[in-house]
Amino acid sequence: MSKLNWTILSSTYIHKGTWATLRSDKCEMPDGTVVDDYYVLEYPNWANAVALTEDNKILMVRQYRHAANIVSLEIPGGVIEGGENPEEGIRRELLEETGYQFNEVELISTVYANPSTANNKTFCYLAKGGKKVQEQQLDEHERIVVEEYTIAEVKQLLADNKIAQALHCTGLFYALMKLGEL
């Protein structure tokens, strides 16, 4: 492994924001080659969940995603806030986005969205036993529609390429494997 690791010689922050920070690193490769400007996006870590209700329906959320200019069908999730561990973050996100609380939450994968340019992780959970306990409590710029699907319907949506968020497809893959559905 050490034959592959780069050494950071210096870092300069270009932009620091709430949701994304951009830095430029000067690095040295193991063979001595210097990379002058390697840009890294620093994001907070994320959590998402394949959320099963008490009657074994998968909760999906539909929302507009401005950067891609699409209305996206996704699994619920979001940023892990400061001071939260990933499980606390996903329980909060599930409650806020869907109004559902879950009996069981199990980590099923930890993945990187794009480790060549971004430093954050996504923790994906399988949540079971969901029961609606409140109305949504959305952030100021969130407009989310909650939908319920059977496992068979979600499998068909994946087969038909109707779920385009790559990290969410990954979470669904791991959850369906865990549930014995693949």
Q: Per-residue DSSP letters for 77-103?
A: EEEPPTT--HHHHHHHHHHHHH-EE-S
- What CATH number was assigned to the domain covering residues 46-178? 3.90.79.10
Cβ proximity of 124 and 174 under 8 Å:
yes
Cβ proximity of 171 and 107 under 8 Å:
no
Quote the tokens at residue 39: 């840009």
How does pLDDT run across 13-62, given as a tens digit for each residue? 999 998 889 999 999 999 999 999 999 999 999 999 999 999 999 999 99
Cβ proximity of 106 and 124 under 8 Å:
no
Distance CA 51, CA 96 (A): 13
58: nearest Cα among 98, 24, 96, 93: 98
Asked if pLDDT for residue 1 goes beyond 70, the answer is no
How does pLDDT run across 83-108, given as a tens digit for each residue? 999 999 999 999 999 999 999 999 99
Strand 58-65 with 7-16, pairing: unpaired
Long-range contacts (CB closer than 8 Å, 24 or more residues apart) made by 18-21? 19/43, 19/44, 19/79
Q: Residue 138: its pLDDT value, please?
A: 87
Q: Residue 132: its pLDDT value, please?
A: 97
Distance CA 141, CA 96 (A): 13
Distance CA 43, CA 112 (A): 11
Cβ proximity of 36 and 10 under 8 Å:
no
Please state, in angstroms and as integers, the Cα–Cα distance from residue 72 to each residue in 18, 67, 93, 104, 128, following that order. Answer: 23, 11, 17, 26, 23
Give the global pTM. Answer: 0.90
Angle at 51 between CA 48 and CA 18, to 5 degrees: 25
CB atoms inside a 10 Å sphere around CB 74: 21
